[in-house]
Amino acid sequence: MKILTFISPSHENTSALIKALHSLFSASIKNTGSNPYGIAFPAIQSDTVGQLISVYCPEEVDVILTYPNILSLLSKKKVSCAEIKSISNIKPTYYRAFIRDRKLERGAPIQAMKRMMSSDKENKEQLAKALIGRYFQSPLPQINLSSQSNQRVFTLNIGVQDSHTPSNQEVFSFNSYGLSSYKNPMYLPVECME
């Protein structure tokens, strides 16, 4: 397994890279039924995913680097390739799952109001307030994106879960954003940032 790390100088460029990777990963799911490519954010903090985006590739990185949407971002210098490493060359200090946290997405004010309006429950207003309260209570690092199918703007909320042991899966399978879920976390080896 290889780790390809990109540097993105701005939030907009990070969004463009994630959108391009999502397009590639969605095609993989459509063609093979799964996505073996995982995304990690080595410099993630409580309020930002940071400027580094790593892609864990099951084989060679050419599939990523020659993908037209990513090639375009590289040629326009919106992102740059920082390094390519073999997973066997890193000494992980811990294992981390990067998770799409949809609970916050559902609690976003616009989505909460839509849910409230479509609900047939008598306590619609209380339900919406509870959802919105959850949204403001625990912010996570976010990436702003727009849906490829209907261009709806949304935020991809990134949660993390750490472990001292790797995932016991022999084959990794991530969602179309290269992330895992709380129900099925894919723990990737993480090297300490120096």
94 and 163 inside one domain: yes
At residue 46 the predicted structure's pLDDT band, cuts being 50, 70 and 90, is confident
Q: Which of 96, 14, 97 is nearest to 48 (CA)?
A: 14
Q: Coil, strand, or helix at residue 127?
A: helix
- CB-based contact 175:181 (threshold 8 Å): yes
Give φ, ψ of 186 to 5 degrees.
-105, 105
22 and 108 inside one domain: no
**Whole-number pLDDT of residue 144:** 77
**Whole-number pLDDT of residue 166:** 78
109 and 49 inside one domain: no
Cβ atoms within 10 Å, residue 128: 20
Which domain, by its residues, includes 46?
A: 2-101+155-190
CATH at residue 159: 3.30.70.2540
Return the H-helix or E-strand segment holding 99: strand 94-100
**Whole-number pLDDT of residue 107:** 46
pTM of the predicted protein model: 0.79
- Computed over every residue of the chain, the mean pLDDT equals 82
90 and 20 inside one domain: yes
